[in-house]
């Protein structure tokens, strides 16, 4: 009976309008809580309003190929399967823990980025990594190098504003960084 009453009340124009306005405001509030709002240059999340305006062009004819670019889709999917094996051994936690530089809940380099970078380093086993633009991604590299390669990967971090990186690394890292 209560559900039926709620449904009937929500059909009243004034209540329906209030519910729609509330939902719109909640959506706007959610967007404001992010580092940057959806659709912003730095956001990987598109603006739903902008997508809706161009929906037919975006979704009606999605090509399987990009002319002039060989995506090697089967090989990419194979690589994804291979790096997925490293996920279960990943040491990172949502929040900062003793002994690790990196944690997922940070404002710049979160879950998917770190999972893929960690997996790629483990899979490719590079002798050297040069990173231009440093911070939380550098912490993934340093932790992975320390825990799984005994520090054998030579790392170079190029960063004109190293304050963030220096605040995240261990004291022993600072003497080795150039």
Q: Mean pLDDT check: name the lowest of 14-18, 30-34, 171-175.
A: 30-34
For residue 30, pLDDT over 90 is answered with: no
Percent of the chain whose predicted confidence (pLDDT) is above 90: 59
Which region, left, alpha or beta, applies to residue 170 given φ > 0 means left and ψ of -120 to 50 means alpha? beta
- pLDDT grade, residue 36 (50/70/90)? confident
Element (H, E) at 155: strand 154-158
Q: Which has the higher per-residue pLDDT, 11 or 117?
A: 117
pTM: 0.66
pLDDT digits (tens, 9 = 90+) for 116-170: 999 999 999 999 999 999 999 999 999 999 999 999 999 999 999 999 999 999 9
- What's the CA gap between 69 and 45, in Å, rounded? 24
SS3 131: strand
Whole-number average pLDDT of the chain: 89
State the average pLDDT over residues 9-22.
80
Strand partners, 155: 129
- What's the CA gap between 102 and 94, in Å, rounded? 9
HSE-CB at 163 with a 13 A cutoff on CA atoms is 1
């Amino acid at each position: 009976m209560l559900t039926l009453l709620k449904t009937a009340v929500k059909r009243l124009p004034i209540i329906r309008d209030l519910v729609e306005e509330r939902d719109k405001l909640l959506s706007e509030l959610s967007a404001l809580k992010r580092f940057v709002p959806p659709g912003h240059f730095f956001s990987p999340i598109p603006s739903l309003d902008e997508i809706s305006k161009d929906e037919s062009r975006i979704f009606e004819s999605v090509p399987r190929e990009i002319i002039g670019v060989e995506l090697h889709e089967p090989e990419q999917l194979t690589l994804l399967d291979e790096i997925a094996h490293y996920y279960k051994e990943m040491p990172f936690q949502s929040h900062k823990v003793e002994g690790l530089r990196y944690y997922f809940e940070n404002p710049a380099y979160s879950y998917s980025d770190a999972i893929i970078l960690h997996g790629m380093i483990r899979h490719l086993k590079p002798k050297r990594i040069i990173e231009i633009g440093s911070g939380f991604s550098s912490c993934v590299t340093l932790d992975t190098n320390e825990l799984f390669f005994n520090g054998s990967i030579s790392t170079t971090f190029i960063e004109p504003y190293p304050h963030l990186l220096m605040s995240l690394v261990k004291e022993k890292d600072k003497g080795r960084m150039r």
